[in-house]
Amino acid sequence: MKDYNHYSLLAHNTFGMDVCADRFVEYESVEELRCFLLSPEAKTGRLLHIGAGSNLLFTGDFPGIILHSALRGIEVIAETDKEIWVRVGAGEVWDDFVAHTVRCGWYGAENLSLIPGEVGASAVQNIGAYGVEAKNLIVQVETVACQTGETRLFQADECGYAYRRSVFKEELKGQYIVTHVTYRLGKQPCFRLDYGNIRSELEKEGGELTLQRLREVIVRIRQEKLPDPAVTGNAGSFFMNPLVPDALFQELKRSYPDLPHYPATSGKVKLPAGWLIDRCGWKGRALGRAGVHPRQALVLVNLGGATGTDILRLAAAIQASVRERFGIELCPEVNYI
Ligand code: EPU
């Protein structure tokens, strides 16, 4: 177990916030985690479990203990002619796992290539991109309860998965730590190409469709649109895509016939927040050291030396513009700490 006092979080948040935690603990086994959770310090102090810090915005120093998983391993636990079940440690880097599935010829995770973060977060955030969500692959989630240190297994249907949602970030927030996730992947060719320009990009290149080529196209599309956090601090999409009543969508469509939209459940329509923000004229603009990415308006960036408060000020100004122009409330996808 690694255990540090007064620890800089600069390398642990992709927004590049220069903040500190009172203490930083990284565990290498489930037993180490259980022992830590049952220790007196864990019972009294404020705890925050982080992954790669790619969906967080620290608004100041963290007065408590940050926990981080170093649980590794990718293990095949069951297999048929058609499918394979793979159990993965929560501390594995998500994209390393995706690269592994592609190398092994396992279908299902390739559309989620290059999403920053770790395997544990895939089960908490229900990460998604290009028509696929983690919930499409997750079979079960192994956890440890923060209060008792006991292990608890959640089947996928107990996880409350929906768009960027799970019980681990809502009803049971802060109560369980994900230690391993089991995914079900396919062994027979099955590609999802219907989102955005994936199909046309593949066709432009010609040649045979393979897992590796699809991964490469997705990586390229992401790199073209999204800033590299190693260069420009950011946390991917800052807001969620709003779900609006169909009646509001119909009304907006009369004024904005090109309004992109995706079908959603129960009489709602999902609209791209990036488009709404772009239409409000925010793309490429800045407020002080906080900016809106010039190629994807849904991504807020640290232009260098921004504080969490600078980013929050920009986020609030954007929310006000979208509210005023479209009557829509944008909700942050990023967690404010
Ligand atoms: N758009 C604009 N202007 C912009 C940005 C987008 O007009 O500045 C339009 C696009 O032209 C397109 C639509 O909005 O018609 C959607 O844009 P895009 O395909 O880039 O996807 P998104 O809805 O903005 C979501 C996810 C991303 C994910 C992509 C691809 C959310 C909050 N974001 O973005 O996830 O990579 O789809 O599937 O659902 C993340 O969560 O951090 C993330 C990057």
Which residue is listed with tokens 């079900």? 184
Predicted local confidence at residue 267, as pLDDT: 87
Q: Indicate whether residue 275 lines ligand 1 (CB < 6 A).
A: yes
What are residue 107's phi and psi, to 5 degrees? -95, 145
Assess whether 205 carries a catalytic annotation: no
Q: Indicate whether residue 97 lines ligand 1 (CB < 6 A).
A: no
CA–CA separation, 90 and 108 (whole Å): 18
- CA of residue 21 to ligand 1 center, whole Å: 32
- Dihedral of CA atoms 162, 163, 168, 174 in degrees, nearest 10, equals -150
Burial class (CB in 10 A: 0-12, 13-18, 19+), 237: buried
Residue 290 CB-half CA count within 13 A: 22
First to last CA, the chain: 24
Full pLDDT tens readout for the chain, 337 residues: 999 999 999 999 999 999 999 999 999 999 999 999 999 999 888 999 999 999 999 999 999 999 999 999 999 999 999 999 999 999 999 999 999 999 999 999 999 999 999 999 999 999 999 999 999 999 999 999 999 999 999 999 999 999 999 999 999 999 999 999 999 999 999 999 999 899 999 999 888 999 999 999 999 999 999 999 999 999 999 999 999 999 999 999 999 999 999 888 888 999 999 999 999 999 999 999 999 999 999 999 999 999 999 999 999 999 999 999 999 999 999 999 9
Q: List all residues 6 or more positions away from 101 whose beta carbon is below 8 Å from its beta carbon.
A: 86, 107, 108, 109, 110, 185
Residue 246, Ramachandran bin (φ over 0: left; ψ between -120 and 50: alpha; else beta): alpha
Is-contact 123 71, C-beta < 8 A? no
Residue 70's alpha-carbon distances to 11, 44, 121, 174, 241, in angstroms, are 15, 23, 13, 19, 32
Three-class DSSP category at 243 = strand
Q: 270 pairs with which residues across the strands?
A: 243, 262
Assess whether 199 carries a catalytic annotation: no
- CA of residue 223 to ligand 1 center, whole Å: 13
Edge-to-edge strand list for the sheet holding 62-69: 2-8, 20-27, 62-69, 47-50
CA–CA separation, 334 and 88 (whole Å): 24
Predicted local confidence at residue 114, as pLDDT: 97
In this structure, the number of other CB atoms found within 10 A of the CB of residue 273 comes to 22
Q: Which two tokens stand for residue 155?
A: 């089947």
Predicted local confidence at residue 265, as pLDDT: 80
Q: Indicate whether residue 298 lines ligand 1 (CB < 6 A).
A: yes
Q: List all residues 6 or more positions away from 110 whose beta carbon is below 8 Å from its beta carbon.
A: 98, 101, 102, 191, 211, 214, 215, 218
CA–CA separation, 241 and 275 (whole Å): 10
Predicted local confidence at residue 187, as pLDDT: 98
- CA of residue 272 to ligand 1 center, whole Å: 6
Q: Indicate whether residue 111 lines ligand 1 (CB < 6 A).
A: no
Is-contact 270 263, C-beta < 8 A? yes
